[in-house]
Structure 1
Amino acid sequence: MPYDPSGPSAAPPGVDDAEFRLAMLEDVYEVAAGLEFVTAALVVDPDGPADAEAITWPGTPIVRDPAPAAAFAALHALGAREAALIVPDAPDLPPLLLGKLFRALGSAPAAACQAAGGNGLVALAARLPLPAWLATVLDAPGTVLDGPGTVLDAPDALARLRAATPRPGLVPQGPGWHRIRTPDDLRSLDPGLEGWDNTRALLEGSPLR
């Protein structure tokens, strides 16, 4: 899962932004780490905060290159034949949605979970090594709410991926989900949904609706 401590703040008033980002990251990591037959890894910027690595279990692979194509290449070098990049701001992501992406790789080289509201992608799964067309589009700059990002953050991320394919049907879309990129996105968190304990603890006392 790529972790970028920059970008727009979604923390509500009274909650430290860095602490909030780290809580969401930890929740996403725990979702990935809890999947059967999946090895969770952390993708971080080489100059990123050291506390990001502290949330992982001992032995977790750390990839120090947040660019999607490079991250996939690094995971392949570690022995992965399939991998999924998950954004760090979807703390309540159901594991079932990730499972659906991996199952889709049985018949396609990549599969995407689109974010609600034009917020890019929540996750992108791919067979490794990446086909050349996918690596090329992943290397292109994205457009985020307040500056440059990766294609995963671009509002038209899925359209970009599909436009780059040599033929239709190579990037199927799984069920979508939401990202927490602005304070308004907090409304999409469901207190009745299990999980996201770290984010939930920081939001205690803050209205979500």
Structure 2
Amino acid sequence: MTDRRVVVVVVPAAGTWAPPGRDPDAWRLALAEDTYEVLAALDRVEVAVAVAGGDETTVAEMSALTWPGTPTYAVDAGRPVLHAVELAGQAAAVVAVSYDVPDLPGLLIGKLFRALSTADIAVTPAEDGSLAAIGVKPPVEDWVAEVAPTFDTPLSELEARKPRRHAVAIGPGWHRLQSNADLARLDPGLEGWDATRSLLRHS
């Protein structure tokens, strides 16, 4: 029995939204770097980075933004979360985190790990109806494998498919940066999200 806890930042290989006047690729990398830095600061967890639909170039691009020794790999774009869980290796719990939460409080990830002691899956819902983070307890339950949740899976779908009352744990919500309106949620007084902040300041 292992007590390893793994957090994986899941980053799309391309094709992301960016604020007007910002290069989408530079924006994607800035968000991913800041999200990674939040998670790398957590105690007693191992951090990895998964590039959804990635190739050698995009994986190397992300690897350059991480601390030495951080596992970085490509995952299937169709089932990025569960593929990332598989590649995390033997673990007591794995939490996949969307790349676009550069100001996410690390405390919220800790809540998901705690919830996974009893739940099959634990999620941090985003305000737009998507999911900011998805925690899974290996071995993955059959119903979770069938749903194959992604960050765009509605919480209502998980609730509808769960086989028992406490199979899905819902942590406190947060916000993803997916539109101009979301930028207003960033708190300038909060430490962190340096790469995102720098790109927003750069005109």
SS of equivalent to 1:177:
coil
> In the TM superposition, what whole-angstrom CA distance separates every residue of 1:40-83 from its partner, at most 9, and x where no partner exists?
001113326231221111111123214222221111xx222211
- In 2, the alpha carbon distance for the partners of 1:38 and 1:12 equals 36
Counterpart AA for 2:49 = L
Match of 1:42 among 40, 49, 54: 49
Q: Tell me the residue number matched to 1:30.
A: 37
Q: Is the 8 A contact 1:101 1:112 kept in 2?
A: yes
Match of 1:109 among 104, 120, 128: 120
Q: 1:83-122 to 2 correspondence within 5 Å? A: 83-118=94-129, 120-122=130-132
- In 1, the alpha carbon distance for the partners of 2:20 and 2:186 equals 13
Number of equivalences: 189
State the TM-score, normalized to the length of structure 2.
Answer: 0.86
Q: Tell me the residue number matched to 1:152.
A: 151
CA-CA distance at 1:129 after TM superposition = 1.6
Q: 1:161 and 2:172 equivalent?
A: no
State the TM-score, normalized to the length of structure 1.
Answer: 0.84
CA-CA distance at 1:205 after TM superposition = 5.8
RMSD: 1.7
- In 2, the alpha carbon distance for the partners of 1:12 and 1:5 equals 20
Match of 1:187 among 184, 188, 194: 184
Question: What is the percentage of aligned positions where both structures have the same residue?
Answer: 43
Match of 1:68 among 81, 85, 90: 81
Counterpart AA for 1:71 = A
Q: Structure 1 residues 21, 8: closer, same or farther in 2, change over 3 A?
A: closer
Deviating more after overlay: 161-170 vs 124-133:
161-170
Q: Is the 8 A contact 2:16 2:24 kept in 1?
A: no
Counterpart AA for 1:121 = L
> In the TM superposition, what whole-angstrom CA distance separates every residue of 1:119-143 from its partner, at most 9, and x where no partner exists?
x10001111121111111016xxxx
Counterpart AA for 2:198 = A
> In the TM superposition, what whole-angstrom CA distance separates every residue of 1:134-170 from its partner, at most 9, and x where no partner exists?
111016xxxxxxxxxxx3224x2x1112222111221
- In 2, the alpha carbon distance for the partners of 1:122 and 1:20 equals 18
